[in-house]
Amino acid sequence: MRFAKVIDRQSFYDKGAKVHPGLENEVLLHEEPGPAGAFLVIRGWGDHHGSFTEQWRIEEPEGRTLYQSSAREIHVATNGHVERLEDEVSEMEFEFASDGYAVVFTLDEREVARATFEVKVDGERRS
C-alpha cells in the first residue's frame, strides 16, 4: 500500500481534492452519537504487480467492526504503477467521537495495512 486516507468528502474538496502526506484523516459528525457526513476512503496500491481481492473494514477503537466493504478485484499493471481507489460512505452511524478509529485493508483475505482516523464533532453538518 502506498497511501490510505479517510476524510470528510466536503473537507477533501475544500482542501483541493489532492492526496498528500499532510492531509488529515478525519470524519465529521454533527452530534454524537449520530450519522457522519459523507466521507471517502482513498487508497493507492503499488509495489507489486498482479491481481488481488481487496476488502476493507472500519473498526472502532475497541476493535468492533462497524462497516465492511464489498470485496473487489483489483489489478496492478506493473511494479511502478499505483492503482488509486476511492469509495464513498454516507450516513454511517458513530456512537462517539475518538481519534482511535481504524480502516483495515486486506488483500486475498490477509490483513496488509491499517490507518487510524479521527471521528470528531463539527458544528456544521456536511453531506
Instruction: Locate 126 and state its grid cell.
Output: 456536511
pLDDT at 90: 93
Q: Residue 31: inside a domain, yes or no?
A: yes
Identify whether 127 is part of a domain: no
Locate 112 and state its grid cell.
496488509
**Residue range(s) defining the domain that contains residue 48:** 3-121
H or E element: which one contains 12?
A: helix 9-14
- 116 lies in some domain: yes
Is residue 126 in some structural domain? no
94, part of any domain: yes
CATH code of the domain containing 68: 2.60.40.10
Cα(56)–Cα(78) distance, integer angstroms: 23
> What pLDDT does residue 122 have?
84
Task: Provide the pLDDT for residue 123.
Answer: 57
Task: Encode the chain (127 residues) as per-residue pLDDT tens digits.
Answer: 999 999 999 999 998 899 988 889 999 998 999 999 999 999 999 877 889 999 999 999 999 999 999 999 998 888 788 899 999 999 899 999 999 999 999 999 999 999 999 999 985 544 4
Tell me if 74 is assigned to some domain: yes
Total number of domains in the chain:
1
Q: What is the per-residue pLDDT for 112?
A: 95
User: Are 76 and 83 contacting, i.e. CB atoms less than 8 angstroms apart?
Assistant: yes
